[in-house]
Amino acid sequence: MTTTTEQSPAPGPKFQVLPNLPWIIAGLAAMPTILRLGQQVWSREFGAHGPIVLATGAWILWRRLPYMKAEAEKSYFALTVVASLASLAIYVFGRAYDFISLETAGLYGFFIAALYDRFGFRPLLRNWFPLIYLALLLPIPGWALDQFTAPLKLLVSWLAATLVEPLGIPILREGVTMTVGPYQLLVEDACSGLNSLIGLIAITLFYIYLLRDAGWRYSLFLVCLIVPVAIVANVLRIITLILLTYFFGDAVGQGFLHVTAGLFLFALALGLMFAIDSVASKFFNIAEKRPA
């Protein structure tokens, strides 16, 4: 008769406060910032992509964690401290003076410092995509938003008026204000292309990662094409609203169809990006396989 001794299962790893202190601080600091983002940024059209980017970015990062752990290397404690203190200073300043852009940037910097402390520099460099993707959560400062949307509004207004005029519709443009028959239309920030631009960048990057798993050169190529695609989509949106307003009145052009036109043309721009990808990927792969 043989006897076997039943071994008790090995105790699981204990949660240690000091090694996980950066994550504890980041988690506590993130909760009020996420609430402020939801109230001040994500509830507006130009920041509507925020919750999607946060959820999908966290999922992508979670998928990359095993690879980062396998490639983990030594990090320098002094560099972690400097980066963490600098990020916390930016976070506190933005929080104290109600600068949501600086507050979010400080939190993001502290998050990167915590990842560096855990895995080292090279694993972060090799797994760069989720870090760049999550950077789309950083709100654009108001002054930068105004500087960027001003030329875009002028561009799409000029293109829309130029394309509509040959149709025989009486239209007069002065800057971003267009007089169409008895109606006056103002091209606002929502029609400038910036809102579609940020959303398209987020969805296109996620599409590239999920289905293509392409390198950074091809990813950069598609991202550069997002700018003209977003401009074209918003020019078509403005033309649609001009036609609706001229033929059916201001109530129709600025009512439900105003939002519907925006959603439809955003879907059109997204479909155009997918079509460009399906064609460009073949030529890109051929070019990559050719010897230098």
Is 57 within 8 Å of 115 (Cβ atoms)?
no
Q: Is 63 a catalytic residue?
A: no
> How many other CB atoms sit within 10 Å of the CB of residue 159?
17
CB 197 within 8 A of CB 273: no
Where b means 16+ CB within 10 Å and e means fewer, 93-103 reads: ebbeeebbbbb
Measure the CA–CA gap between 213 and 225, rounded to whole angstroms. Answer: 18
Which one is catalytic: 126, 173, 237, 290? 237
Tell me which of 191, 217, 224, 290 is the catalytic residue.
191
Exposed/middle/buried for 286, CB within 10 Å: 0-12, 13-18, 19+? exposed
- List, in sequence order, every beta strand (DSSP E) within 60-192: 171-174, 177-180, 183-186
Is 237 catalytic? The answer is yes
- Cα separation, 158 vs 162, in Å, equals 6
Name 36's Cβ contacts closer than 8 Å, sequence gap at least 6. Answer: 100, 103
Task: List residues with catalytic annotation.
Answer: 191, 237
